[in-house]
């Protein structure tokens, strides 16, 4: 299979298929599954920028999502800002938090990066829990204003508006990631990941690239968090929890670390697979075990992920 | 010797109780090919490391480059100032092609735009005698010699004042070493000062204008290559008693 087919034709065909899906899928529940899958796809593919492309073992990526959720929730509900602007604001606050997190980890390596980023995530969660007068504490925030543009309410038409808005966010986020990957900056991230000393000897500041990679990976992750808050109309500290983190991580690992499309494909596949398993009697709670087993099998048999496996099989 | 471009003054490097480099002082003239020899573990690569800050600087002493003290600078800033090195072991960016490797170096070390880098890559690859038909190959797919060529080309594209080569002939065949000899002389003729660590004595003696020999972290001998190899102390310590 030629790179043209693999990198352009297939993604475009997938995009057209997703754009046409609401014509055939008219029930709001299936559309809801697609929307949640798109959100996870944005989270996982942007996580790939720091973890896959730059090699930073960042276990605080869901912090950016959580910051996006609460930024939008507070601005839309407490401040009364237009929900669309509140979502956009999440794309600003999340990278700011990413800068704060990146500062102490920029010069660390390996397990220390994992520990510090995860600790930072827990720190932000504790902050959210402790500031209950602003964030709602453990109970979170509910009845966040829904999205309206003019007279059109996005909750009408079986979530059609939300579907296309979220698909649009995924497309813009993916184009953003592709442009980064193809730029000299994107190449420098791979250089830092694969041969740090060699990269430094070619004038690349490793700590600067790591900070930038984390901040850039936070932009659309934060926006996805903002969208999530407006779409579900809740903001809950669960978004900082280990369950959300491991689900997004499994999408990244199963899809293929270092690939742009892999985590997106895996996010769609895993979201629908877990939902399908939930409908099978006896599998309601076992679905996460199935994902864990799938992750182990993929890492063992195809460490490059399902997209890498697909590339290998198609030459 | 022409004006000194590098001055190393009483450089020391300690790892706990071990002194890997002891009070090493020497100067390198602009435009020179300066050789560094010594047996395994004599501190040659450690000396390169502390001069370039990759991955550490000196414990004490001074490194001056082009008249400016650089021994407390961040490593990437030293590289950007024009002191560019290669590595003893094959260093590569396995996911980048030859052209992408050059692009990264040109943009970050040479302050070139992507389009300028593409033009500059052609002339640098020519200077490094790299096969133009293989520029779209991934670095990981190159032969040992091609990887060495690429490592040198990726340094040259930023137009360094000084190129520091750490055992570039290791793992090469005799014909490849002959090609490397011609390549180094060509690079030097283009105005680049070269510091060369090398175990292949034929290459080192062929291209170097001056030489130091390290032993147990200290300078054992220095001078013209022809004089240094006749030094009995060098023959004893480095050449096992006979040339």
Kindly report, residue by residue over A192-221, the tens digit of the pLDDT: 999 999 999 999 999 999 999 999 999 999
Distance from CA of B193 to the nearest CA of A (A): 17
Give residue A314's pLDDT: 80
Q: Which two tokens stand for residue A71?
A: 């930024």
Name chain B contacts of A308, Cβ cutoff 8 Å: none
Tokens 């670095």, residue located:
B139
Which three-class secondary structure state does DSSP give residue B177? helix
DSSP label at residue A218: H
Asked if A205's CB is within 8 angstroms of B79's CB, the reply is no
In this prediction, residue B2 has a pLDDT band, given cuts at 50, 70 and 90, of low
Q: Choose the closest CB to A195 out of B76, B80, B91.
A: B91
Q: How many CB pairs under 8 A join A and B?
A: 79
Give residue B23's pLDDT: 96
Residue A282 has pLDDT above 90, yes or no: no
Mean pLDDT along residues A168-184:
97
Give residue A258's pLDDT: 86
Asked if B95 and A194 count as a contact pair (C-beta separation under 8 A), the reply is yes
The residue extents of the domains of chain B are 1-82+161-243, 90-159
Please report, in angstroms and rounded to a whole number, the separation of the first and last CA atoms in chain B.
27
Tokens 């002339």, residue located:
B123
Backbone φ/ψ region at A281: left (φ over 0), alpha (ψ -120 to 50), beta: beta
Give residue B159's pLDDT: 94
Closest by CA position to A240, among listed A132, A106, A136, A127:
A127
Distance from CA of A260 to the nearest CA of B (A): 14
Name chain B contacts of A204, Cβ cutoff 8 Å: 76, 104, 108-109
Residue B239 has pLDDT above 60, yes or no: no
Name chain B contacts of A190, Cβ cutoff 8 Å: 93, 95-96
Q: Which two tokens stand for residue A151?
A: 């007279």
A107 interfaces chain B, CB cutoff of 8 Å: no
Asked if B10 and B62 count as a contact pair (C-beta separation under 8 A), the reply is yes
What's the mean per-residue pLDDT of chain A? 93
Distance from CA of B97 to the nearest CA of A (A): 10
Cα dihedral B237→B238→B240→B243 (10° resolution): -130
C-alpha distances in angstroms, A156 versus A33, A135, A245? 16, 28, 31
Q: Which two tokens stand for residue A4?
A: 């043209």
How many Cα atoms are found within 13 Å in the side-chain-facing hemisphere of A128? 26
Question: Within its chain, how far is the Cα of A172 from the centroid?
Answer: 13
Asked if B130 and B150 count as a contact pair (C-beta separation under 8 A), the reply is yes
Nearest CA in chain A to B155: A202
Asked if B154's CB is within 8 angstroms of A203's CB, the reply is no
List the beta bridge partners of residue B218: B215
Asked if B114's CB is within 8 angstroms of A200's CB, the reply is no
Distance from CA of B55 to the nearest CA of A (A): 7
Q: Choose the closest CB to A201 out of B79, B101, B110.
A: B79
Residue A56 has pLDDT above 70, yes or no: yes
Give residue B236's pLDDT: 82
Share of chain A above pLDDT 90, in %: 75
H helix runs in chain A, sequence order: 3-4, 10-24, 28-48, 61-73, 83-105, 111-130, 132-135, 160-182, 184-194, 196-201, 206-232, 242-255, 262-278, 287-301, 305-313
Nearest-angstrom CA–CA distance, B183 and A27: 69
A182 interfaces chain B, CB cutoff of 8 Å: no
A184 interfaces chain B, CB cutoff of 8 Å: yes
pLDDT, one tens digit per residue, over B42-91 is: 999 999 999 999 999 999 999 999 999 999 999 999 999 999 999 988 78
**ipTM of this complex prediction, to 2 decimal places:** 0.93
Asked if A180 and A49 count as a contact pair (C-beta separation under 8 A), the reply is yes
Mean pLDDT along residues A270-298:
83
Asked if B93's CB is within 8 angstroms of A194's CB, the reply is yes
Name chain B contacts of A201, Cβ cutoff 8 Å: 52, 54, 75, 79, 84-87, 91, 155
Mean pLDDT along residues A241-250:
89
Distance from CA of A194 to the nearest CA of B (A): 6
Q: Choose the closest CB to A200 out of B76, B93, B114.
A: B76
Q: Choose the closest CB to B93 out of A190, A203, A205.
A: A190
pLDDT, one tens digit per residue, over B10-51 is: 999 999 989 999 999 999 999 999 999 999 999 999 999 999
Closest by CA position to B88, among listed B183, B150, B160, B171:
B171
Q: Choose the closest CB to B104 out of A197, A202, A205.
A: A202
Backbone φ/ψ region at A15: left (φ over 0), alpha (ψ -120 to 50), beta: alpha
Distance from CA of B189 to the nearest CA of A (A): 22
Residue B240 has pLDDT above 70, yes or no: no
Nearest-angstrom CA–CA distance, A183 and A193: 16
CATH code given to domain B1-82+161-243 = 3.40.50.300
Nearest CA in chain B to A53: B95
Q: B193-197 and B33-37 as β-strands: parallel, antiparallel, unpaired?
A: parallel
C-alpha distances in angstroms, B108 versus A106, A202, B94, B206? 18, 7, 18, 33
Give residue B242's pLDDT: 47
Asked if B79's CB is within 8 angstroms of A187's CB, the reply is no
Please report, in angstroms and rounded to a whole number, the separation of the first and last CA atoms in chain A.
6
What's the mean per-residue pLDDT of chain B? 93
Residue B241 has pLDDT above 60, yes or no: no
Rg (CA), chain B: 18
Nearest CA in chain B to A207: B76
Dihedral sign of CA atoms B134, B140, B143, B149 in order: positive
Q: Which two tokens stand for residue A172?
A: 């813009």
Name chain B contacts of A188, Cβ cutoff 8 Å: 104, 107-108
Asked if B93's CB is within 8 angstroms of A203's CB, the reply is no
Asked if A184's CB is within 8 angstroms of B104's CB, the reply is yes
Give residue B48's pLDDT: 97
Give residue A77's pLDDT: 97
Nearest CA in chain A to B74: A205
Q: Choose the closest CB to B105 out of A194, A202, A205.
A: A202
Residues of chain B that touch chain A, judged by Cβ-Cβ distance less than 8 Å = 52, 54-55, 74-76, 79-80, 84-87, 91-96, 100-101, 103-105, 107-110, 114, 117, 151, 154-155, 158
Name chain B contacts of A258, Cβ cutoff 8 Å: 95
Name chain A contacts of B151, Cβ cutoff 8 Å: 198
Give residue A315's pLDDT: 67
Closest by CA position to A198, among listed B30, B236, B22, B96:
B96
Q: Compare A304 and B149 and report the one with higher pLDDT.
A: B149
Nearest-angstrom CA–CA distance, A22 and A26: 6
Give residue B60's pLDDT: 97
Distance from CA of A208 to the nearest CA of B (A): 11
A192 interfaces chain B, CB cutoff of 8 Å: no
Nearest-angstrom CA–CA distance, A243 and A265: 20
Mean pLDDT along residues A171-191:
97
Give residue B243's pLDDT: 44
Closest by CA position to A170, among listed A53, A15, A4:
A15
Residue A15 has pLDDT above 90, yes or no: yes
């Amino acid at each position: 299979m030629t790179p043209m087919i693999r990198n352009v034709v297939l993604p475009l065909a997938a995009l057209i298929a997703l754009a046409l899906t609401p014509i055939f899928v008219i029930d709001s529940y299936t559309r809801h599954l697609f929307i949640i899958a798109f959100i996870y796809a944005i989270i996982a593919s942007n996580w790939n920028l720091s973890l896959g492309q730059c090699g930073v073992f960042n276990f605080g990526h869901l912090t950016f999502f959580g910051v996006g959720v609460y930024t939008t929730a507070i601005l839309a509900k407490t401040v009364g800002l237009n929900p669309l602007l509140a979502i956009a604001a999440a794309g600003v606050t999340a990278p700011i938090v990413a800068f704060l997190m990146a500062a102490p980890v920029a010069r660390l390596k390996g397990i220390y990066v994992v520990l510090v980023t995860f600790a930072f995530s827990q720190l932000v969660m504790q902050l959210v829990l402790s500031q209950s007068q602003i964030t709602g504490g453990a109970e979170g925030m509910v009845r966040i204003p829904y999205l309206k543009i003019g007279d059109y309410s996005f909750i009408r038409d079986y979530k059609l508006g939300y579907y296309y808005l979220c698909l649009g966010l995924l497309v813009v986020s993916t184009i953003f990631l592709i442009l980064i990957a193809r730029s000299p900056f994107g190449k420098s991230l791979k250089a830092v990941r694969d041969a740090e000393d060699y990269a430094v000897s070619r004038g690349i500041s490793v700590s600067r690239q790591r900070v930038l990679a984390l901040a850039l990976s936070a932009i659309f992750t934060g926006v996805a968090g903002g969208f999530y808050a407006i779409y579900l109309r809740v903001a809950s500290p669960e978004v900082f929890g280990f369950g959300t983190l491991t689900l997004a991580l499994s999408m990244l690992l199963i899809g293929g670390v270092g690939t742009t499309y892999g985590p997106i494909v895996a996010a769609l596949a895993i979201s629908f697979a877990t939902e399908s398993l939930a409908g099978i009697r006896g599998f309601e709670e076992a679905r996460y075990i199935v994902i864990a087993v799938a992750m182990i099998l993929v890492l063992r048999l195809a460490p490059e992920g399902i997209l890498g496996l697909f590339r290998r099989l198609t030459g | 010797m022409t004006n000194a471009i590098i001055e190393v003054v009483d450089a020391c490097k300690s790892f706990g109780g071990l002194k890997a480099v002891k009070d090493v002082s020497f100067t390198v003239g602009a435009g020179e090919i300066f050789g560094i020899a010594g047996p395994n573990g004599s501190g040659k690569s450690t000396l390169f490391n502390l001069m370039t800050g990759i991955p550490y600087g000196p414990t004490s002493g001074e490194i001056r480059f082009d008249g400016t003290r650089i021994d407390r600078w961040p490593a990437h800033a030293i590289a950007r100032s024009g002191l560019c090195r290669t590595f003893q072991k094959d260093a590569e960016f396995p996911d980048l092609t030859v052209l992408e490797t050059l692009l990264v170096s040109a943009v970050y070390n040479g302050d070139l735009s992507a389009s300028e880098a593409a033009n500059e890559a052609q002339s640098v690859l020519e200077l490094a005698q790299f096969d133009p038909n293989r520029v779209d190959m991934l670095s990981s797919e190159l032969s040992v010699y091609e990887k060495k060529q690429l490592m040198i080309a990726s340094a040259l594209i930023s137009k360094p004042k000084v190129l520091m080569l750490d055992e570039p002939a290791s793992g090469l065949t005799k014909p490849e070493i002959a090609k490397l000899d011609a390549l180094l002389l060509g690079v030097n003729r283009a105005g680049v000062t070269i510091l060369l660590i090398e175990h292949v004595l034929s290459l080192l003696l062929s291209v170097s204008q001056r030489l130091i020999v390290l032993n147990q972290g200290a300078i054992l001998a220095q001078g013209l290559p022809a004089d240094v190899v006749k030094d009995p102390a060098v023959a004893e310590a480095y050449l096992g008693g006979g040339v």
